[in-house]
């Protein structure tokens, strides 16, 4: 029966399924073919979602369900304005040797800084062109990060916050070294960047980190993929997600449910603002209630009516800025 099993099949994860066919050759062959098909589908899913170059921004934007066309003129104007501001390319070395890139916008005479983390398949300057002006006007130095395997940062495997949370700590240490021990830091993340920020708050962070903003974060990569498979592809999560998780552990160095933001915020001591759109179908709005409920630090919640994925700021900028300003006034000197 070996002809049914390619050499690269993970024998241990599927041997239980194959054992069901031992009552007869035909059943065994059918089970083996089915297992091989499941493995091939999981492999395809893993490669197109976790490996850089295969994960496409256009596909992510289509899946998000947000009508970005109506915001394009404003976003372009914000990008033009941001390009005219003093800025500097910064490169640091990650814990595993990767070169990470960020764009630094100084705010003369300030001791406040915000470190911004973007969404899946995006880049820092794409996601923060509009919010950048808000933060600069509030007197913040601005560090807009390209997360690993995105933009000008190195990396083969997308980290989904699991790997990036340690990168976030490296960026925090860089900002402290640049601005001094008396600086005050805000963390702000959108989508995958939001999950990165929440997972980072579960670490032991320097006392300079005063607050965090998480916009449309997911509870874990595993659970958001599980939701996408069900709602968009009408596929069961088992065994595809189990195999994809096994591949991620073997190749990327982390499990898709290993760093669960819901578990990490339970350890957080960082005051956190949770933001979500109630029409988000990509990262379901139900996840923000799970995250908010699990968080044991001081916390606030803002749900924007009518906003889909990553649309909250554009849908209601006044409410968004007001909520962030409340955090600034409460936790920053």
- Residue by residue, DSSP assigns 245-295 as HHHIIIIISS-TTTS-HHHHHTT--S-EEEEEETT-TTTTTHHHHHHHHH-
Residue 62 has a pLDDT of 75
Q: Decide if pLDDT at 310 tops 50.
A: yes
Q: Decide if pLDDT at 237 tops 70.
A: yes
Q: Decide if pLDDT at 329 tops 50.
A: yes
Q: Decide if pLDDT at 80 tops 90.
A: yes
Q: Decide if pLDDT at 25 tops 60.
A: no
Residue 179 has a pLDDT of 98
Residue 212 has a pLDDT of 98
Residue 259 has a pLDDT of 80
Q: Decide if pLDDT at 114 tops 50.
A: yes
Confidence of residue 20 (pLDDT cuts 50, 70, 90): very low
Instruction: Tell me the average pLDDT across 222-229.
Output: 92
Residue 257 has a pLDDT of 87
Contacts of 172 (CB under 8 A, 6+ apart): 115, 185, 187, 200, 205, 206, 208, 209
Residue 34 has a pLDDT of 62
Range of lowest pLDDT (69-73, 166-170, 272-276): 69-73
Residue 294 has a pLDDT of 98
Indicate yes or no: pTM above 0.85. yes
More confidently predicted of 54 and 131: 131
Confidence of residue 11 (pLDDT cuts 50, 70, 90): very low
CA distance 13 to 247: 11
Confidence of residue 38 (pLDDT cuts 50, 70, 90): confident
Confidence of residue 33 (pLDDT cuts 50, 70, 90): low
Residue 27 has a pLDDT of 45
Confidence of residue 21 (pLDDT cuts 50, 70, 90): very low
**Sign of the alpha-carbon dihedral angle for 268, 152, 91, 331:** negative
Question: What does the pLDDT look like over 165-179, one tens digit per residue?
Answer: 999 999 999 999 999
Range of lowest pLDDT (37-51, 110-124, 276-290): 37-51
Residue 146 has a pLDDT of 98
Confidence of residue 95 (pLDDT cuts 50, 70, 90): very high
Backbone angles phi, psi at 285, to 5 degrees: -60, -25
Residue 32 has a pLDDT of 55
């Amino acid at each position: 029966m070996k002809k049914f099993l390619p050499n690269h099949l993970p024998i241990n994860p599927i041997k239980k399924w194959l054992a069901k066919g031992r009552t007869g050759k035909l059943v065994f062959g059918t089970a083996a073919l089915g297992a091989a098909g499941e493995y091939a589908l999981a492999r395809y899913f893993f490669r197109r979602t976790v490996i850089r170059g295969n994960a496409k921004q256009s596909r992510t934007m289509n899946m998000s369900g947000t009508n970005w066309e109506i915001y394009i003129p404003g976003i372009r104007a914000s990008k033009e304005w941001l390009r005219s501001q003093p800025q500097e390319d910064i490169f640091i070395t990650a814990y595993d040797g990767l070169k990470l890139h960020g764009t630094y916008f100084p705010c003369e005479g300030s001791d406040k800084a915000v470190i911004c983390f973007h969404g899946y398949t995006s880049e820092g300057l794409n996601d923060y062109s509009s919010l950048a002006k808000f933060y600069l006007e509030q007197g913040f130095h601005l560090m807009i990060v390209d997360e690993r395997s995105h933009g000008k940062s190195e990396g083969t495997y997308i980290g989904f916050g699991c790997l990036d949370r340690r990168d976030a700590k490296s960026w925090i240490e860089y900002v402290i070294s640049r601005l001094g021990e008396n600086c005050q830091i805000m963390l702000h993340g959108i989508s995958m960047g939001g999950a990165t920020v929440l997972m980072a708050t579960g670490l032991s962070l320097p006392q300079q980190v005063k607050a965090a903003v998480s916009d449309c974060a997911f509870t874990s990569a595993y659970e958001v993929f599980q939701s996408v498979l069900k709602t968009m592809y009408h596929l069961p999560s088992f065994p595809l997600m189990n195999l994809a998780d096994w591949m991620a552990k073997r190749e990327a160095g982390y499990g898709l449910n290993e760093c669960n933001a819901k578990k990490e915020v339970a350890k957080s001591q960082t005051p956190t603002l949770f933001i979500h759109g109630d029409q988000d179908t990509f990262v379901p709005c139900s996840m923000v209630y799970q995250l908010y409920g699990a968080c044991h630090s001081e916390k606030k919640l803002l749900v924007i009516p009518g906003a889909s994925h990553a649309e909250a700021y554009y849908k209601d900028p006044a409410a968004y800025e007001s909520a962030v300003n409340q955090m600034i006034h409460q936790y920053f000197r």
